[in-house]
Amino acid sequence: MQHARENHATVVLTNGNVLVIGGWNGSSNMNAVESYNSTTGTWTTINNLVYERSGFTATLLRNGKVLVCDGLDTLLQDTVELYDPSTGLWTSTGNMINEREMSTQQLFCQMLYDPSTGTWDMIGSMTDARQLHTATFLTYLKVLITSGGLNSTELYDSSNGTWSITSSMNVPRSEHAAVALLNGIVLVAGGIRVTDENTAELYRLLGTNQ
């Protein structure tokens, strides 16, 4: 990369390029963004974020745009911005209702973003308050919430707006990675329990062909 950083976010675009966004360079929060082309193996600097931030989330939306929200500048952020790969530009969109950093505040409350209107709405609360957890989109319009220092996991069903407890993890962890594989199974790896974890586990949504 062209800039050393930590507490940044990465997201894979629909064209296969990887965006590396914002973060902390050891002395200040960053708004620098760069793109990695896996075909050529090269890095390119692209337009900066509107706001400097670290400890935030970046999500690829179904329309191909990237939603960046929350995090830390000097204070906790409630600002939200969108990246449009077709124009290469970042634009501000509707602010979150509650500011937060990497969901590190132990919160029950959740919000839902509507890309068609650029607005946020409060939705039903999770069963357990948690921090430093992950949210992974599954098929069947469900979102899997894993760990955050707990071994409990929850499913959000966007078709009816409800939360339900699902199978517990084998190892409680936080600051881990969770990714949905092409076969629909979710791989959870690493993170912190008391010390750094090197364990990994798989989640399969019951009642499906996954």
Sheet holding 200-203, edge to edge: 177-180, 186-189, 200-203
pLDDT, tens digit only, all 210 positions of the chain: 888 888 888 888 989 899 999 988 989 999 999 999 989 999 999 999 988 988 787 888 888 989 887 776 655 456 788 899 999 999 888 665 454 444 433 343 466 777 777 777 777 778 888 777 888 888 777 888 888 888 999 998 888 888 899 999 999 998 888 888 878 889 998 888 888 889 999 999 865 444
Provide CB contacts within 8 A for 172, sequence distance 6+: 147, 149, 150, 151, 193
Rg (C-alpha) for the chain, rounded Å, is 17
**DSSP designation for 174:** B
End-to-end CA distance of the chain: 36
| CATH assignment of 1-106, among 3.40.710.10, 3.30.465.10, 1.10.10.10, 2.120.10.80 | 2.120.10.80
Query: Would you list the domain boundaries of the chain?
Result: 1-106, 126-210
Is the whole-model pTM more than 0.95?
Answer: no
